[in-house]
Each structure stands twice: as structure tokens, then as C-alpha cells.
Amino acid sequence: MKLSDCKFADKALVRGLASVTNGPCVTILLPTHRALRGARSGGVRLVKLLATAREGLCDAGLSGPSADLLLAPARELVTDESFWLHQDRGLAIYLSGERRELVHLELSPGELVYVGERFLLRPLLSAYDEDATAYVVAVSLKSSRLFRVSRHAILEVASDAMPQGLLALAEDEHSHTLQFFSGPSQQRGAYGRAASGKQRGAGKAWSAANVVKSFGQGYGTDARKENAERYLRLVSDAVSAAIVEAEPLLVVAGVGYVGAMLGGMLRKGRVVGTVIGNPDTMSLHELRTRAWHALDAYFDERAQGRSHELEDAEAVARATLELEDVLRAAYDGRITSLLVAPDVERWGRFEPETRRLVVHERPVPGDDELVELALLHTLRNGGEIAVRRHEPGGETGALLRY
């Protein structure tokens, strides 16, 4: 395992982990830090957690050498300082005989080791939480940048395809123009003779400002609009190539006319908010804060619509908020959409054979986290997951097929 293997959670990844049934499976969660001191402590923490995982695997019946072999890919990370310097707030490590995954966590988790017949999936709920992450496309005449933002962090998405502003595009255009008119040598005069010193000096008057002015104005309003549209189309193409998710939420940051033009050109995702102003003059903290403020209205409207949908479905017995019914439906494959509150835990035991549920206020030995069970079996049976962050009540519920 190495840094390039580390991913952000997405739905395909979570479904793949849910499908693993051949244990033992190891889930390791740990907080991470980007500072050098934090990078060193990450390896130290992982050593301790791997020792706990090895003990759990041996208790599950594996020999010492077999446990070491299963944990070996994670052990390689212990001394990889560059790996720890490029982490976000947390890390999830998933290991089994058939699957290995490293996943960035955008919230700092507590240290945890779980050894069992399945992986723990709730740490990856951000893949289903539309409110958890979005992308900001920040555009000005000088630059275009793409950021992945959450409630707690902002991270620039590296992409060589993002055009470096209208200026760079203009300079490139001007260079091609000079080559067209000048031929192979730019030191020739109008009739092919060597240019005078005065003429050569005049060529240096093409400053960056002049290039932008010339490129932006072209030969009239139509040319100026055409140049701007060409620049923004390049931005749109780069955004489509850089974003993995099929339907990401997007916020466009830019001065009024730039944001409006780009919002209509983006081919991937859904533009649900705007940040008006020049992003070049904003700190990353301000950009993230204003982006999430722009998303608030969309989140609230969607949450209200989902609450009404749940109420309507309950009225005709096609939904439930009772955990026992949710678990029965999850095991039976009757859930269309499981509505999960991200911070709510319920501990106890569910017996599929007898359909009996026992809930405890606090976990006791042998208990399962019951929302985790519902999540796992919903995914294994083809259901969808939705995160109930804004809805009142915050309990786990389900929309049912029948």
C-alpha cells in the first residue's frame, strides 16, 4: 500500500466493501495530521493498532504468520513519512484476504480496530451524504481552480488540465499570431529584412496587461465574448475530467458575469450555489465558508422534500421509523432507501432467524451496532442510502419496496 492507493469514499467503494463476506475482515480507523510531528505520530499509532488487530486475528483462529501476512500491506505504511504528510483528518484501512483499501476520512475518528466477518461501513457515510462534500469551481481572468470542500476542510484538486487564466490563453494566442505573421524568425522587418533596433524594442511593449486587453477585446464585442466562452469551455472540460463522482454538487465562484456563463457550461454535476466575487482575493477559509453558506438553501429545501416523502410513504405503510422493522426489511431486501442519521448509534442484537431485536442503552459484549447492520444488508440487497442530516428527529428510517 502507498499514497497513490489512498482514495476518497465513493458509492462504488462502499458497495464493494459491503459485498465482502469471506472473513476475517480488519477495519482500522485513526486520526491523522499533516504537520511533521503528526506525520511521525501516525506511524507510531498504526504500530499499536496493528498489534491489536493481530491479536484479534489470532483470537479468530488465524496463525501468527497468517495474521502477519494479512496485515503486511498496512505495516508498509508505518515508516512512509511522505504518506502521513499527505493525509487529511483521518484514515480508514480495510484488509481482508480478497480486498485492501485505504480511504481518506474528512472527519477525525477515534482510534478503532474491528476484526470480524465484515467491514465497518459507517465511517464512509460521506459517500452518501450530499451535504458532506461539494466542489467549488473558482474562476477569474488570472486563474481557474477546483476545490473539494466539506464542512470542515477545503482541498485543492490537482489538475494539469485546468487553464491558468485568460492571460495564459491570451499569451499563447498572441504567440501563435506572431509566429504566423513573422515566420520562423521574429527579428525580420516588414519585407524580410533584419528589423531595426527601434522595431525590436517596440516588440517588447507587449506587456501582460496589453495581451489580456487585446485578447479580451479582440476586434469587437463578438470576439471578446467568443474568447471568454472558449476559456470557460476549457474550464468545464477540465472539471468534468477531474471529478470522479457522477453527480457532484457544484458551487461556482467568480465575478457575476463569469459565474453566470460558467454555470451554464458545466456539463458534469449540479450547480446549486454561487459565490459572487473574485476568488483570487479570498482566503481558502473565506471561500469554503461562503460556499457552504451558498448551499444552505438547497440543503434545507431538499431535506423538507425528503421529510414529506417519508411522511407520505408512512401513511400508506411504505415506510418505517421503527428500528426493528428497519432491520427486518434490510435482511429481507425490502428497503428502497435507508435514511441514516450520521451521529446516532443503537447497540444490541438482532436474530434474523427469530426476527427478534434486543436493544441496550450501552454496548455489552457480543452486541452489534444495529444501524451498521441495517446499512450493510441494505447495500448487499441493492438498496440505496441517504443521510438524514437536516431532517428533524434524526432517527434511522426506511422507504420500502413493499
pLDDT score for 38: 53
> Cβ(245)–Cβ(215) under 8 Å?
no
What domains are there in the chain, each with its CATH number? 3-127 (3.30.960.10), 133-182+207-301 (3.30.420), 317-400 (3.30.1330.30)
Residue keyed to cell 427469530: 354
Report d(CA 240, CA 248) in Å as an integer: 10
Contacts of 146 (CB under 8 A, 6+ apart): 135, 136, 137, 138, 156, 157, 159, 162, 238, 239, 242, 243
Report d(CA 28, CA 55) in Å as an integer: 13
pLDDT score for 201: 40
pLDDT score for 198: 41
Report d(CA 302, CA 144) in Å as an integer: 30
pLDDT along the chain (402 residues), means of 10: 80 94 93 67 91 96 96 92 81 94 87 94 83 84 88 82 74 46 38 38 40 41 74 91 85 85 86 91 92 79 66 70 92 92 87 92 90 95 82 74 86
pTM of the model as a whole: 0.65
